[in-house]
Amino acid sequence: MLLLYVIVAFTPNILGFPRKIPIGGLFDGDEMIQKAFKLSVKAVNKNITTSEHAKGILLIAKTEKVNENAFLVANIACELLGNGVAGIFGPQDRSTVDHVQSTCDTLDIPHIAARWDPEPKRGNVNLYPHADTLSMVFQDLIKKFQWKEYAILYDDTNGLIRMNRLLKLPNMHTISAMVFHLGNGPDFRKIMQEVKRSGCKNLIIDCSYDILASVLEQAQQVGIMSGKHNVIVASLDLQTLDLKPYQYSGMNLTGIRLIDPESSTVRHILRALNWNLTDGSHLRVTSALAYDAVQLFASGYARLRDSVEGDLKRLSCNDTETWGHGFSLSNFMRNERIHGLSGTIKFDTNGFRSEFQLDIVNLGKKGLRKVGEWKTNVGIQWESEYKIPGVDEGKSLRDKHFIVLISLTDPYGMLKQSAAIRAGNDRFEGFAIDIIQEMSKILGFNYTFEVQSDNIYGSLNKTSGRWNGMLGKIIAHEADLAITDLTITAERESAVDFTTPFMNLGISVLYRQPTTAPPGLLSFLLPYSKEVWVHLIGAYIVVTSLLFLIGKLCPVEWTNPYPCIKEPEVLETPFTLADTPFLVIGALLKAPTGFAPAGVSTRALATAWWFFTLIIGSTYIANLAAALSTKSTVWPFKVAEDLAYQHKIKYGAKKGGSTLAFFKDAPHEPYEIMYNYMMNHADEVLMERNEDGLWKVQQENYAYIMESSSIEYIKQRVCNVTQVGGLLDAKGYGIAMRKDSPYRTELSGAILKLKENGMMHELQTRWWKEKRGGDKCSEKPQVKVEPLNFEDVGGVFLIMISGVTLSWFYAGWTFLWNIRNIAIKYNVPYKEEIKEELKFLIRCKSKKLVRRRKKSVETIGSR
């Protein structure tokens, strides 16, 4: 019984997702990628990770080497799925990855990729920078260098796809481009001779990493990498090559890199794990992304485990059964923001990594050095000391004057509450007003605010092709800038430029404050989990049984019931079948029972049990007090998707807004259901203004879907509403300006400075939590009291089991030793005496006769 209890006690009950998660990896050649994958798994398991959410996750890597045979790769992927993996990473080869992706989509298992993909799929999670966004950096470099002609050297169609934007730049008058196919190699000199004869001095080289070193070497031999030439190398792995032969050539060689070897994150990861690399400059992008992919998966999986209940499944490619959590896990990964070897990893609303940062590097006599940065929505920002030869940096914004459009929308732009008559810019206050004011201090420009009277931000008339509202005025040169809660969308960016977002947000749900549940009839069970209660009952049964047996075995526990009689005929023990359970439960409940064991074995057992009950009782009382003082909240729904599958709560959004458009375009089934519901009940659930939605939330059983920033503003002032669930997407508010505005980089740089020095956070705090009734509804977060699990009190059980084990062995030894003494004293066979004692124990009597004669049958009896 004791052995059985020990096994049960220390075998954890697996409820929900397991702590150990198997993941599959398919690798097709580069051993460094596989090594990075395994090192990342090791880092997660040892909590060497920059993601707080990934801590406490244990991964089991199941890796397979594959070739270019798509059929075999598909079979290997099916074997991994049959082993119950929660995600599959790789492979890199384009000819096989589509089969793996299709299989994972069918069985609802996340597929994580780390490869350049010209046609990215929304179904998988790809950490490689988005192909179309990545091509923007070359377009920006061409514009900054002010090249009027350039030649593109490429080796396959992938290079043309990456250079797509550059191929669209040329026109009849200002810019011309030439394209040269390098051929199959290994000799590329013939085509390079043609480049030389063309007389073009500006070159862009886009070829695979495998031939890049050879291409550069042959280009130098031919003479197109001299001091007269400007070269851009498109590979993200340029820094891993040996560039010493070109350091003194005098040419202007520019490259880009995703991995910053000087980054503290890169240094920490390389130092903590056995990479066998001298520094981060030798780490290729594909290996770094393989490492980051595992970190992102672990962080997303932790979010999934904390949000829903479920388990892993062994799936078959020949069956229709799916996992059911793959889509949710992929969404959790896309909503994560972590810092890895490849920088900050975050995804846009379409699930692509379109927001990232690249270092611009230039080759000098001391090797590659960083001369600038390129950021999505910001563009290129050069280091202060770097000057582009022969390029005019243009005029600064100092003393420029801008017409800035605003809308009277709380808290972005508002009229000042004042009895005095005010004029000009002094009439306005708000978050957007303060942002422009702080930016003007940094850049030195002047401005005049103009109010958009109709509060229309701007939408495209499909028939006329014209934009209305704020954006229409900017396009028509009636204003220079527009700032309010203006969402950056792809459609708007086709007409105007935006700065980097000054606020990041997403869509969420506004609902009334949830009710609190009254304490249940069995609330006294709250301090411990079900697992602990089961173990506690098991411990009670085991200790009671052993104390009863040990009390019978221990000679000292048999005492004379009549002290006046020196030679009693009968001995008694307090450890009876009726009294022993009472004695044990009395100790647990801290009730006086007069329990005083005499033997060493029974005292050892009692001491272990008393210590156990002391700790268990103390923790129970402490946790019970906390549990009863904390009221549990009853949420009618936890995430927005829950609304799609219920009919009690009505829900809607702003009519014609970007939030409603999000549901219209979303491919996720619950969102499609929600959109159809809202359109079918448009008159009832779609609101003209956010104020109408707030009123309906307060008065009816209604959930209003809107931007999280507005919800946060409302929460600070209206105390009976709150935000339910997380963000459904990720987007940002930016400052709009005319297309190809020369001031975009400077304005975006000023926003970044405001963020870095904390001013943006200070302004947001001022207008959300301080001004105009802010912080009215602030409340301290309620501490959630979790029931103690077995892991929390396992040590107490271990000490108790140790005492039980010690007392059991000691009782057995004293029992046998006592029988030996009786056998010698009364000249009785040892085995026969043991049999008689065991027969007595089986009868469970509390009294036994004292031996008088030297006959074995009469020595022990009971009455």
pLDDT tens digits, one per residue of 637-656 = 888 888 888 888 899 888 87
**Residue 300 sits in the same domain as residue 434:** no
Higher pLDDT, 687 or 172: 687
* Cβ neighbours of 612 (radius 10 Å): 24
Q: Per-residue pLDDT for 716 more than 80? A: yes
Taking residues 369-394, what's their average pLDDT?
Answer: 76
- Name the CA radius of gyration of the chain, rounded: 38
Statement: residue 90 has pLDDT above 80: yes
Instruction: Measure the CA angle with vertex 218, ends 217 and 224; round to 5°.
Output: 100
Residues 166 and 244 in one domain: yes
Q: What angle do CA 534, 539, 544 make, to 5 degrees?
A: 130
| Residue linked to tokens 């104020």 | 691
Tell me the pLDDT tens digit for each residue of 32-42: 999 999 999 99
- Tokens representing 293 are 């992919």
557 & 618 share domain? yes
- 601 and 623 in a single domain? The answer is yes
* Interval 101-124: pLDDT, tens: 999 999 999 999 998 888 777 668
Same domain, 499 and 528: no
Query: Is 776 within the bounds of a domain?
Result: no
Do 135 and 119 lie in one domain? The reply is no
For residue 43, being part of any structural domain is answered with yes
Give the DSSP H/E element, type plus range, for residue 218. Answer: helix 209-222
Does residue 405 have a pLDDT over 70?
Answer: yes
Write the pLDDT tens digit of every residue in 266-278: 988 888 888 888 8
Question: Residue 2 — pLDDT band, cuts 50, 70, 90?
Answer: very low
d(CA 740, CA 578) in angstroms, rounded, equals 91
Asked if 646 and 620 sit in the same domain, the reply is: no
Question: Are both 410 and 378 inside the same structural domain?
Answer: no
Percentage of residues in the chain having pLDDT higher than 90:
25
* CA angle (675, 493, 477) in 5-degree steps: 125
Whether 162 and 208 share a structural domain: yes
Position 450 in a domain: yes
- What pLDDT was estimated at residue 215? 94
Render 373-417 in DSSP notation, one character per residue: EEETTTEEEE-TT---TT------STT-EEEEEE---TTTSEE--
User: Does 785 or 629 have the greater pLDDT score?
Assistant: 629
Is residue 488 situated within a structural domain? yes
Longest dimension (CA), the chain: 129
Residue 274 in domain = no
Same domain? 407 vs 491: yes
* Strands 414-415 and 702-707, bridge-based pairing: unpaired
Question: Is residue 394 over pLDDT 80?
Answer: no
608 and 674 inside one domain:
no
**735: closest CA among 481, 538, 507, 519?**
481
DSSP class of 223: T
pLDDT single digits (tens) 571-618: 677 766 666 776 776 677 666 666 667 777 777 777 777 777 777 777
- Total domain count, the chain: 6
Contact 270, 260 (CB under 8 A): no
Q: Give me the domain span that covers residue 431.
A: 401-503+738-770
Percent of the chain with pLDDT over 70: 78
Q: How many CA atoms lie within 13 A of 657 on its CB side?
A: 22
* The pLDDT of residue 347 is above 80: yes
CA distance 575 to 551: 6
Assess if residue 394 is contained within a domain: no
Asked if residue 620 has pLDDT above 50, the reply is: yes
Burial of 137 (0-12, 13-18, 19+ CB in 10 A): buried
**pLDDT tens for each residue of 450-507:** 998 888 888 888 888 889 989 999 998 899 999 998 888 888 888 899 999 998 888 8
Which of 710, 729, 748 is a domain's end point? 729
Which of 532-541, 601-610, 732-741 is most confident?
A: 732-741
Q: 336 and 51 in contact (C-beta within 8 Å)?
A: yes
Give the chain's mean pLDDT.
Answer: 81
Answer whether residue 418 shows pLDDT above 80: no
Q: What is the CATH number of the domain that holds 614?
A: 1.10.287.70
Q: What is the CATH number of the domain that holds 675?
A: 3.40.190.10
Is 5 part of any domain? no
**681 and 808 assigned to the same domain:** no
- Reported as a pLDDT band with limits 50, 70 and 90, residue 290 is very high
CATH number, domain of 253, equals 3.40.50.2300
pTM assigned to the model: 0.53
**Res 107: pLDDT:** 92
Local confidence band at 517 (pLDDT 50, 70, 90 cut-offs): low
